[in-house]
Amino acid sequence: MNIDPYNAVVRAYFDCPEHMGDIGGGAVAFFEDQGMRIRLSAKVVDGKIKKLGFRAWGCPHVIAAAEAFCRQFEGRSVAELEEFKTSQIMGDLAVPVEKTGRILVLEDTVRSLRAAIQDRITNQAQD
Amino acid sequence: MNIDPYNAVVRAYFDCPEHMGDIGGGAVAFFEDQGMRIRLSAKVVDGKIKKLGFRAWGCPHVIAAAEAFCRQFEGRSVAELEEFKTSQIMGDLAVPVEKTGRILVLEDTVRSLRAAIQDRITNQAQD
Amino acid sequence: MPGSSDFVYMDYAATTPLNSLVAERMRTVQNSACFNPASNHIAGRQSAKVVMQAATELGLLLNVSPDSILWTSGATESNNLAILGAARQRAHRGKHLITMRTEHKAVIDVFRALEKQGFEVSWLAPKPDGQLPVERLISTLRDDTQLVSIMHINNETGVIQDIAALGAACKERDVLFHVDGAQAAGKIPVDLAALPVDLYSLTAHKFYGPKGVGALFVANGTPLEPLMFGGGQQQRMRPGTLPVDLIAGLGVAAAVATTSIADDLAKLTGLKGRLLQGIQDIEGLQVNGPAKGGYPGILNVGVDDVDGESLLLAMEPLCVATGSACNSRSQEPSSVLRALGRTDRQAQSAIRFSLGRPTTAADIEMAISSYRHAVRKLRALAPERPA
Amino acid sequence: MPGSSDFVYMDYAATTPLNSLVAERMRTVQNSACFNPASNHIAGRQSAKVVMQAATELGLLLNVSPDSILWTSGATESNNLAILGAARQRAHRGKHLITMRTEHKAVIDVFRALEKQGFEVSWLAPKPDGQLPVERLISTLRDDTQLVSIMHINNETGVIQDIAALGAACKERDVLFHVDGAQAAGKIPVDLAALPVDLYSLTAHKFYGPKGVGALFVANGTPLEPLMFGGGQQQRMRPGTLPVDLIAGLGVAAAVATTSIADDLAKLTGLKGRLLQGIQDIEGLQVNGPAKGGYPGILNVGVDDVDGESLLLAMEPLCVATGSACNSRSQEPSSVLRALGRTDRQAQSAIRFSLGRPTTAADIEMAISSYRHAVRKLRALAPERPA
Ligand SMILES: Cc1ncc(COP(=O)(O)O)c(C=O)c1O
Ligand SMILES: Cc1ncc(COP(=O)(O)O)c(C=O)c1O
């Protein structure tokens, strides 16, 4: 019997999702799958992620995972986004295996965010 | 659920079987059936049952039934023995139906006692 | 109520705390007469008396003879014994069975098991308010129908079925009628002398009795194949040492219910009214279940664009249920709400508030603000779909 | 002990009173954490923790993982689930089953039911002392044998079977081995990590835990067909709301047993010795069961020329059992004693004294004089057969 389905990290992130919101004018990615919806937005300056924001529709693990992603990558370089894997978040949040699919929606959204950032950089370069 | 299998009469007769014993020199009847054994003995004077005694091997209802018989017929006439039926004792002792067969052993023993008394009277008349 | 310092409990349809008279009686029995009632000695007979008294008390609640009551471990067992027992016992006569899609798992899964064993089951759908029209039953009855099982009060929505009419339809065709009364017994008046019901399941812990004990009412010795075999207890229908103290507790819970059902219902009606009033202006709120009528201890609501699991967490420390209370940890959307025509997403947002005898007006106000806050929070979190 | 003013209780093999720590823990749980452990809210999780703790406590008693424990309503259900469940699950592999003639009704009647359903059962006879020689089992095992069920301690005679040897014989042939441990768990050391046992049944009320709860140890997820269907509780093997307080009580009873079995056995050995010594000079006295060894909480004796039912009444207010305690009201001579070679009449005179933790030396003296008096009285009543 799995007594508490949410560990302390999930509870903290769910209670206070500090990165909830949209970063105006930044790169935006949206993904919907398995009944989950995630939107990520980022402000990038000189190859560095200055700010990350998220919105999410889903279970507490999905919401906490999005918040965890934002906390992890704010301040890091865009290049580092390549390294993003859900495995660490799955571990930190003790996500039950049957929810793996849902957390992978976050991976898809992050990939899509990377592409959006790349797009903007390319576009800006073309400006 | 039949809570107490023994009513107050059964308990009283089983606890104090006043007629337990053998009446020396009287008419005697013994019957064995269904794993029950009953012996009745009687002292008869002038067609009247002066004394009755019993011994019994069996469940509490059988023992109490034998005692009940003795109490009922002591002091009555031999002729009245003809009237003996277990039905009244079955009722007085609230004997469960599944024990009917056992109580009928008493009926058989009483019949045999009547015969024994008759025998003795005939024999005595012939003396 | 117990534990109230840590949380506010509003899941009385899942289980209820012990009534204090029930707890007291159980303690008395444990200290004096908790032996084997099948034993032929003084201690056993004292225990047998306790069991008989409980049967009398339950008999009064349901208006049936104490002899028609079988003790079980709960409604799950009662349902299994009634349904498997009747179906197997009558299998040679015919293999058609009827039940509803909105039944509890402890009925649905039994019929599923019977389907695998060669029985044919008709799964009736209710109207969107949860009610089963008697005509749907009548038109489904066949010559080879052996058993109909319909629940009295639905555990998720509180809808109350018309047991009198449904039972009458069964009687006309000489079909056995089983009712899962787990949510009704001790909570609304149930007169089994007046209702055409052959088998009626109940469980003590839904009406302030102990967990681990239930009963099955069996009319006129309706023959059933036992689920279990063993000692001669309970006419071989359900062997095992009787849990005398639990049975005594069930009896007292029944006795308390007999005198308090009317007051309970009046109070719950008021509380449910206030709860609904306090949240009904929330945009997109849907009431799952009957708009009017229904059991006042249950209010099931959904809202658009909110995930039920997150809603539950956001409402802590309020204890309510999503989906079926009996298995709230499964993430599947409630099959009951799906059968009422809700989409998966709507069903997934459903929250069941269930109120009980200890529920206070303050609990209701707390629930209202907690629900409003949680919906607001989750909606704020949710992304719009991109245009 | 409870109720001692009215009677002297010496029927601990039938059922035991609650240990005071057990009662206390149950009360605490009832007042704080007696909700539905399957519910995903604070109250539910508090209850789930209680259940896990109990599983840990029972796991320690039996030296098994808490995950291998299924909660049931008692040993009758555990036996039924194990035997019906394993036989039905493995029916396609073969239909031969083995058990003993001296099993409890909750095993015998299950195998009888399986015989009616097309299984073939070999009914092994013990030696006159009640022991089953392992060779008898080995020579009965066949290629199509699926399940062997042998009880650990016999409830009527106290004989202890050699579970290690019997289990090893089963393992060699890859046959499932079920043990009815209702009279052993909590009463003698049982190390299921060391014993080659697949399924082990127990019930709390035989070792000072509550009635209405038991357990089935299931090794390595041995597949079983469930007896009942319903919610997803307990991996679908046994649905129904868990009786959290009863389970907690079972846990504490297990914890108490873990520390007190050695003392219990030492004390019982002394008391049983004195009891036997006090009656063994009665003419025609037979000890039913092993002359030496065996569980010291049980002494079963018969005498010639005395009816068991009358003996029981003559000994009131001493509470002892005739025949099988689980169904003492039936008048049939014990099939267990018949299997040990006793005649009907001998079996019918059998009395089982069963001693427990609360039994005192004074109780034993009372039992001795009560038995002597009753035998004397009934022998005086019995007629000689005419010459
Ligand atoms: C309608 C209904 N039927 C059956 C049950 C099963 O009851 P129990 O868990 O006591 O066996 C429940 C509750 O769990 C219920 O609500
Ligand atoms: C050996 C044995 N097995 C099974 C049982 C059945 O236990 P319960 O009545 O608790 O189901 C008992 C006692 O009644 C027993 O002595």
Closest Cα to atom 7 of ligand 2: D75
At C33 the pLDDT is 87
pLDDT tens digits for range C68-107 = 999 999 999 999 999 999 999 999 999 999 999 999 999 9
Q: What pLDDT does D360 receive?
A: 98
Q: Which residue has the tokens 């520390």?
A: D259
Q: What is the pLDDT of residue B127?
A: 58
| pLDDT of residue C147 exceeding 90 | yes
Do residues C36 and C127 both lie within one domain?
yes
Closest by Cβ to A60, choosing from C310, C345, C382 = C310
Q: Is C204 in the A-facing interface, judged by CB distances under 8 Å?
A: no
Chain A contacts in chain D segment 17-56 (CB below 8 A): 37, 40, 45, 48-49, 51-52
Mean local confidence (pLDDT), D56-76: 98
3-state secondary structure at position B102:
helix
Banded model confidence at residue C347, pLDDT cuts 50, 70, 90: confident
Please give, rounded to a whole number of angstroms, the shortest distance from the CA of A3 to a CA of chain D.
6
pLDDT recorded at residue C31: 94
Structure tokens at C80: 């299994």
Mean pLDDT (whole number) for B109-122: 91
Residues of C in contact with B3 (CB under 8 A): 45, 48-49, 52
Residue A33: beta bridge partners?
A36
Q: CA nearest B31 in D: which residue?
A: D385
> Cα–Cα distance between C4 and D252 in angstroms, integer?
25
What are the pLDDT digits (tens) for D237-283? 999 999 999 999 999 999 999 999 999 999 999 999 999 999 999 99
User: Tokens standing for D244?
Assistant: 């959290």
For residue C317, whether the previous peptide bond is cis, meaning omega lies within 30 degrees of 0, is yes
* Domain CATH number, residue C178: 3.40.640.10
Identify the residues whose C-beta falls under 6 Å from ligand 1: C 74-76, 79, 104, 106, 151, 155, 180, 182-183, 203, 205, 214, 326; D 240-241
Residue C387 lies in a domain: no
CB contact under 8 A, C51 and B4: no
Interface A–D counts its CB contacts (< 8 A) at 10
What is the distance in angstroms between the Cα of D326 and the nearest Cα belonging to chain C?
6
To test the pocket of ligand 1, the residue of C183, C200, C201 to mutate (highest count of ligand atoms within 8 Å of its CB) is C183
What is the reported pLDDT for D326?
Answer: 40
Q: Do C141 and C204 fall within a single domain?
A: yes
Q: How far is the C-alpha of C186 from the C-alpha of D230, rounded, in Å? A: 22
Domain covering B8-126 in this structure, CATH number: 3.90.1010.10
In a domain, C110, yes or no: yes
* Ligand 2 close to Cβ of residue D156 (< 6 A): no
- State the residue range of the domain holding D314: 8-16+260-381
CB-based burial of residue C292 (10 Å sphere; 0-12 exposed, 13-18 middle, 19+ buried)? exposed
Nearest 5°: the CA angle C153, C316, C9 is 40
Query: CB distance from C383 to chain A under 8 Å?
Result: yes
What confidence tens digit (pLDDT) does each residue in D300-318 have? 999 988 999 999 999 999 9
Confirm or reject: Cβ of D203 under 6 Å from ligand 2.
yes
Q: For residue B54, what pLDDT is reported?
A: 97
C-beta D76 within 6 A of ligand 2: yes
Residue D1 belongs to a domain:
no
C2 occurs within a structural domain? no
**Can you tell me the distance from the alpha carbon of D381 to that of D383, in angstroms, rounded to the nearest whole number?**
7
Q: What is the Å distance from ligand 1's center to D232 Cα?
A: 12
Domain end point (choices D228, D256, D284): D256
Mapped onto helix, strand or coil, the DSSP state of residue D114 is helix
The nearest alpha carbon in chain B to C52 belongs to B1
Q: Are residues D250 and D304 in the same domain?
A: no
Ligand closest to CA D149: 2
| D162 shares its domain with D277 | no
CA distance C296 to B118: 82
Distance A35 CA to ligand 1 centre (A): 30
D206 and D335 housed in the same domain: no
User: Which residues neighbour C222 within 8 Å (Cβ) at sequence distance 6 or greater?
Assistant: C86, C176, C198, C199
**Can you give the residue ranges of every domain in chain A?**
8-126
Tell how far CA C264 is from the center of its chain.
Answer: 17
Q: Which residue of C has its CA nearest to B4?
A: C45
Amino acid D323: pLDDT: 65
Residues C188 and C308 in one domain: no
What is the tally of helices (H) and strands (E) in chain C? 11, 13
pLDDT of residue D130: 95
For C53, the 3-state DSSP assignment is helix
- Give nearest CA residue, ligand 2 atom 12: D182
| Residue D24's pLDDT band (cuts 50, 70, 90) | very high
Write down the pLDDT at residue C324: 42
Give yes or no for a contact between C10 and C320, defined as CB atoms under 8 angstroms apart: yes
Which of A79-83, C210-214, D313-317 is least confident? A79-83
- Residue C150 lies inside a defined structural domain of this protein: yes
Task: State the Cα–Cα distance between residues D80 and D113, nearest whole angstrom.
Answer: 10
Are C151 and C242 in a shared domain?
A: yes
Q: Which subunits have 3 or more CB–CB pairs within 8 Å of chain C?
A: A, B, D
pLDDT tier at C346, thresholds 50, 70, 90: confident
Residue D385 confidence (pLDDT) above 90: no
Mean pLDDT across D177-203: 98
Please tell me the predicted confidence (pLDDT) of residue D266: 98
The answer to whether residue D387 is domain-embedded is no
Number of domains in chain C: 2
Listed residues C211, C230, C256: the one ending a domain: C256
How far does CA D90 lie from the centroid of its chain?
A: 26
Question: Mind telling me how many Å the CA of A20 is from chain C's nearest CA?
Answer: 6
Q: Is residue C25 part of a domain?
A: yes
User: C38 C-alpha vs ligand 2 centroid, how far in Å?
Assistant: 12
Global pTM exceeds 0.90: yes
A32, pLDDT greater than 50: yes
| C-D C-beta contacts closer than 8 Å | 279
The string over D107-131, giving b where at least 16 C-beta atoms fall within 10 Å of a residue's C-beta and e elsewhere, is: bbbbbebbeeeebebbbbebeebbb
Over residues D28-54, mean pLDDT = 94
pLDDT digits (tens, 9 = 90+) for D345-367: 888 899 999 999 999 999 999 99
Report the CATH number that the domain containing residue C338 is assigned in CATH.
3.90.1150.10
Same domain, D240 and D94: yes
Asked if residue B126 has pLDDT above 80, the reply is: no
Instruction: Tell me the pLDDT tens digit for each residue of C297-325.
Output: 999 999 988 999 999 999 999 999 986 44
Of D37, D40, D51, which is closest to A5 when you measure between CB atoms? D40
Q: Are residues D54 and D194 in the same domain?
A: yes
Q: Are residues D310 and D343 in the same domain?
A: yes
CB-CB neighbors (< 8 A) of A37 in chain C: 382-383, 385
Q: Give me the pLDDT at residue D291, please.
A: 80
Residues C129 and C245 in one domain: yes
Whether residue D6 lies within 8 A of chain B, CB to CB, comes out as no
ipTM attached to this prediction = 0.94
Neighbours of chain D (3+ CB pairs under 8 A): A, B, C
Q: Confidence class of residue D41 from pLDDT cuts 50, 70 and 90?
A: very high
In a domain, C146, yes or no: yes
Tell me whether residues D48 and A1 touch, CB distance under 8 A. Answer: yes
Could C328 and D44 be called an inter-chain contact, meaning their C-beta atoms sit closer than 8 Å?
yes
CA dihedral C218, C223, C224, C229 (to 10 degrees): 100
Q: Which of D236, D256, D276 represents a domain boundary (last residue)?
A: D256
Residue ranges with strand state E in D162-213: 176-180, 199-203
- Sign of the torsion angle spanned by Cα atoms A95, A97, A98, A104: positive
Q: Which helix (H) or strand (E) holds C8?
A: strand C8-9
% of chain D surpassing 70 pLDDT: 96
Is-catalytic flag, D170?
no
Arithmetic mean of pLDDT over chain D:
94
Cα three-residue angle C218-C16-C150, rounded to 5 degrees = 35
Q: Touch between chain A and chain B (3+ CB pairs, < 8 Å)?
A: no
Q: Band of the pLDDT at A126, cuts 50, 70, 90?
A: low
**Catalytic center residues of C:** 326
Q: Are residues D239 and D360 in the same domain?
A: no
pLDDT score for C3 = 45
